[in-house]
Structure 1
Amino acid sequence: MTRVDVAIVGAGFAGIGMAMALRRAGIDDVVLLERAPSVGGTWRDNTYPGIACDVPSHLYGFAAHPNPSWSGTYARGDEIRAYLEHVVDTEGLRDRIRLNTAMRGARWDAQRGAWLLDTAIASGPAGQVTARALVLACGRLTEPAIPQLAGLETFPGPMFHSARWDHDAPLAGRRVGVVGTGASAIQIVPELARTAAHVTLFQRTPAWIVPRGGDVYSDTDRDSFAAHPEALEALRADLYAEGEARFASRSGDSAAAAEAEAIARAHLESQVPDPALRALLTPDYAFGCKRVLLSDDFYPAVASDAVTLVPSPLDRVDGPTIVAADGSRHVIDALVLATGFASTRQPYADLVVGEEGQTLAAHWSGGMTSFASTVVAGFPNLFVLNGPNASLGHSSSVLMIEEQAGYTARVLRRHPGRVLRVDPAAERAYTDEIARAAASTRWMTGGCRNWYVDERSGRLTLLWPGTVDAFRARLARADGSEFLPEPALTSTFEGRPA
């Protein structure tokens, strides 16, 4: 058995950022459990052709680790993964990370005042970790959503989700079907169109797409960034300000949204000359209701002879024939499911059992709730990063991770040895606060079905309905009153490795 002060589950941006924040707070008795054989999170798992970030690279990183070596305005997926490996080495976190170690269950032990974690090791016996505090940094885009289609199992060719790309699948010169037109698909389709015999793209709902633009950085640019860190800091500040300004158009400010929508419509018109095809690619919901995408090559690919757009979801699969809901039939050789993730129902929630024997999934049965988007009533000394209302629709998610990690580190530093129980009233008040702020946004009123809103409750549970500045200010106002002032809250747990 291993005993530590803090156990962190996940070694992507959130887990690494959390370990960094704890170390800066003087808390170094930490272990990071990572089920995969390497760090990187979503940037390790997603390796599909064309994968890149749609947030400017110099904003998509830790503030303490600016990277002068990005290849361009938008970083490739492999670059981001390499960046995280570099941060781990620079911070000296290798000896804190247990790779190939999955959390199979976690339960709160009231007698010990600690979390008991059951783990499974890929090449060894199972083990247990006892931790005074548990941080779930598992990510919100970890488990692919596979559509429930009649006959899907009868498809004879290669079939895989975009997040589990099969690089051995023979796609060149083959007829490839792609399901979905979201953030992954718009990067995948242009790449496949260059090599496949033909691409058939199944679209349930079109997306608003704006120009991507961006530059490729030269060696001179990168040398300049390295030589002048103050210039890199100023660039990050500019990108941050641009992101904050984007919140207005994404959330529903009428003038800002109209201006952004006009840009998207002009982009579509300039790249798709066929009016009938343009109509199929034009959303019928408000700009900002669903995730706004960035691409300069998706529309030209769809408008080319290499791609056929089917403006219909799938209905069933009959061997190599894909039948769409509009009745059309399409024979293909390989099928790529770019169908997103289980975002509002986090898979790890079934594994975590709180103080009253309730799982986190049961607590969240009506949609995720929390205080400060980080701590949850009924689950003492538990902190969730990238969980309830901690995502953004307008800027870098890393900014939110750093704020949550900072809040967690402050709480643990200020209350050493204490069992921290969230006041249910504080959680309810925060949930109501979120609901009021979200009520007038396009995410709630824009006439679309999006992955930000939990269909069970109709609440916005994934996005923070405000700016990063507002989130930082909200967490700064948390003064400890969110925890119950119970007597005898001191834990007897001794957090040292055994």
Structure 2
Amino acid sequence: MSTKKDSSPTIAIIGTGFSGICAAIQLEKQLGIKAQLFEICKDIGGVWNVNQYIGIESYAPSHLYSLSFEPNPSWKERFSSQSEIHNYMKGVAKKYHLYERTKFETEVIQLEWQEKQQQWFVQWRNVNNHQETESGIFDFVISGVGLLRIANIPKEFLGFEGPIIHTAYWDSSIDYTNKRIAIIGSGATAIQVIPKLRKVTSHIYSYQRTPAWVLIRKQYSYSGFAKFIFRWVPFAMKLYRIYLYFLHESYHIGFGNHKMLGAITLKYYTKTMTSRLVKAGRPDLIPALIPDYPPGCKRICQSETYLEAMAQPNVSVIRSGVKEIRGRTLVDKDGNETEADILILATGFDTKNITGNLEVYGRGGRSLRKYYEETHPQTYKTIAVHGFPNYFFLAGPGSNLGHNSIIQMIEAQTQHAIKIIKAMKKNNIAAIEPTQSAQDEYFAATQKSFEGTVWKGGCTSWYLDNKGAVHALWSKSATAFWIMLQKPNFNDFIQYRKNKENRIRNL
């Protein structure tokens, strides 16, 4: 690790998903900084390395769900599989030699801000041997762990005496053939798993507290000619990406404070799902599978096979929640008993636990975990937090989307962080953090912007924190996010030089 005497700052990047990969590449490209990456798994890829459940595919189009500076002309389909996305990410990481700079099977366990040195003291350990620990000093820390990383495993299901599988830790060694399977959850994961699993199981029991809005996905394969054009006419591929971007931007209109458009969207979604269930011969499922909350309040899913699978005789929908488990029997709140061979938890991730096992101590020993438990997961423009100098979030609180690709958000956040670091380096600034007033103003404005939108439509979702505030999402368009992060406002920051606090304007 370099010291403060070196001209180039040292940077630790936690996580090697799209956030970590993007940040590492752009830091080297634009600032010549070779960051140190930490990855808890054996390979890069983040959620696309960890999640390998049956049927997993992206909900964002392939040509949009990829780094803008590394387009891929060879995507096979409109929506790519986990393996194809993961291979793409590994290829990008190899191209930029990120494997050589990554500590694999390494868990960062504590960050502590050193006031005197104005640097981060970082501790990490080997995931296979927790006694094997190391530490280092870094000028900056970039958190690229995101929100979708800690599996949500409700304790009430752990008493099941058969195999229990969370979709984030899929066990492909288990034989699901002719088994009775209970699946808990009705979100994006369950919607992908059920149509595939139904084909081999004896029976699926789908436990749903609230159903999801499910649209036709319109999957298709790219022809050899299309791939040829994308490869040899890069401008055509760029235009196609722009088209996809603005197409998805338009979806945001129905989520905002537009009552007429919201009513039209609701009517269209209801009609579409109703017609599919009627066509499948199961109009009786309409009350159970069509939501009673506005589209977008929870994540809208896409599948051309889910509703049709739910209509099959070997699938049962149970809307009454699980009251208790006796051995391999699930007892719902209506007193009905269902015996299952395997329990699958499609219960998503704990998005409210921002730091997970990582302890982050900022200025004055302030705990980020405790701070977020006491208030809300507040940030300044999704990227920084008051009291935690030189600490940047990527794909963290307030930066997820319900209508477009999060890759656009990650790239905008990365550019914003780089502009700040570049200005600090130029002006000999040791550390920087947002002011409390700037952060409070930003948080209040974002929460106000959610009023009247579908995200405040009364449903329970992972978008909300424990106090009911929408903490995971950005309320406006991806374009508005990009505009917001174009130019850092240094008047909103406290800047530290030579261990003394100075407010410096117009760096």
Counterpart of 2:102 in structure 1 is: 97
> Is 2:451 the counterpart of 1:439?
yes
Tell me, yes or no, if the aligned pair for 1:211 and 1:264 is still in contact at 8 Å: no
Tell me, in whole angstroms, the C-alpha distance in 2 between the residues paired with 1:345 and 1:433. 23
Counterpart of 1:141 in structure 2 is: 148
Tell me, yes or no, if the aligned pair for 1:143 and 1:347 is still in contact at 8 Å: no
Tell me, yes or no, if the aligned pair for 2:432 and 2:496 is still in contact at 8 Å: no
Larger mean Cα displacement after TM superposition, 177-186 or 304-313: 304-313
Tell me, yes or no, if the aligned pair for 1:321 and 1:332 is still in contact at 8 Å: yes
SS of alignment partner, residue 356 of structure 1? helix
SS of alignment partner, residue 244 of structure 2? helix
CA shift in 2, pair 1:486/1:30, >3 Å: closer
Counterpart of 1:495 in structure 2 is: none
Tell me, yes or no, if the aligned pair for 1:25 and 1:410 is still in contact at 8 Å: no
SS of alignment partner, residue 31 of structure 2? coil
Q: Aligned letter for 1:402?
A: E
Alignment deviations for residues 450-495 of structure 1 (CA, whole Å, 9 cap, x no partner): 2112122x2211101101111111112432122115564589xxxx
Q: Which residue of 471, 474, 490 corresponds with 1:480? A: 490
Q: Aligned letter for 2:475?
A: P
SS of alignment partner, residue 374 of structure 1? coil
Tell me, in whole angstroms, the C-alpha distance in 1 between the residues paired with 2:370 and 2:258. 36
How does 1:194-209 map onto structure 2 within 5 Å? Answer: 194-209=199-214
- Note the C-alpha offset of 1:288: 1.6
Aligned residues: 487
In structure 2, runs of 5+ residues without a counterpart are 4-8, 502-507
Counterpart of 1:376 in structure 2 is: 385
- Note the C-alpha offset of 1:85: 0.4
Tell me, yes or no, if the aligned pair for 1:5 and 1:131 is still in contact at 8 Å: yes
Alignment deviations for residues 420-447 of structure 1 (CA, whole Å, 9 cap, x no partner): 1321111111111111211221111x12
Tell me, yes or no, if the aligned pair for 2:205 and 2:317 is still in contact at 8 Å: yes
Alignment deviations for residues 182-235 of structure 1 (CA, whole Å, 9 cap, x no partner): 000000000110011111110110111111112112333222221221111011
Counterpart of 1:395 in structure 2 is: 404
Larger mean Cα displacement after TM superposition, 12-21 or 270-279: 270-279
How does 1:101-116 map onto structure 2 within 5 Å? Answer: 101-116=106-121
The two structures, once aligned, show a CA RMSD in angstroms of 1.8
Counterpart of 2:474 in structure 1 is: 464
- Note the C-alpha offset of 1:350: 5.0
- Note the C-alpha offset of 1:327: 1.7
SS of alignment partner, residue 111 of structure 1? coil
Q: Aligned letter for 1:453?
A: L
TM-score for the superposition, normalised by structure 2? 0.93
Alignment deviations for residues 368-399 of structure 1 (CA, whole Å, 9 cap, x no partner): 11111100000011001111211111100111
Counterpart of 2:25 in structure 1 is: 20
SS of alignment partner, residue 119 of structure 1? strand
Identity %: 29
> Is 2:419 the counterpart of 1:419?
no
Tell me, in whole angstroms, the C-alpha distance in 1 between the residues paired with 2:300 and 2:163. 30
> Is 2:289 the counterpart of 1:278?
no
- Note the C-alpha offset of 1:26: 1.2
Tell me, yes or no, if the aligned pair for 2:152 and 2:347 is still in contact at 8 Å: yes
Tell me, in whole angstroms, the C-alpha distance in 1 between the residues paired with 2:257 and 2:94. 42
SS of alignment partner, residue 494 of structure 2? coil
Tell me, yes or no, if the aligned pair for 1:250 and 1:288 is still in contact at 8 Å: yes
Tell me, in whole angstroms, the C-alpha distance in 2 between the residues paired with 1:394 and 1:349. 30
In structure 1, runs of 5+ residues without a counterpart are 492-498
Counterpart of 1:88 in structure 2 is: 93
Tell me, in whole angstroms, the C-alpha distance in 1 between the residues paired with 2:55 and 2:382. 32
Tell me, in whole angstroms, the C-alpha distance in 2 between the residues paired with 1:137 and 1:490. 29
Q: Aligned letter for 2:416?
A: Y
Larger RCO (alpha carbons 8 Å, 6+ apart): 1
Larger mean Cα displacement after TM superposition, 46-55 or 283-292: 283-292
Q: Aligned letter for 1:371?
A: Y
CA shift in 2, pair 1:179/1:252, >3 Å: farther
Q: Aligned letter for 1:304?
A: Q
SS of alignment partner, residue 442 of structure 2? helix
Tell me, in whole angstroms, the C-alpha distance in 2 between the residues paired with 1:116 and 1:487. 19
Tell me, in whole angstroms, the C-alpha distance in 2 between the residues paired with 1:302 and 1:168. 25
Tell me, yes or no, if the aligned pair for 2:56 and 2:82 is still in contact at 8 Å: yes
Alignment deviations for residues 88-122 of structure 1 (CA, whole Å, 9 cap, x no partner): 11222222211111101111011111111111124
Tell me, in whole angstroms, the C-alpha distance in 2 between the residues paired with 1:72 and 1:145. 30
Tell me, in whole angstroms, the C-alpha distance in 1 between the residues paired with 2:439 and 2:400. 18
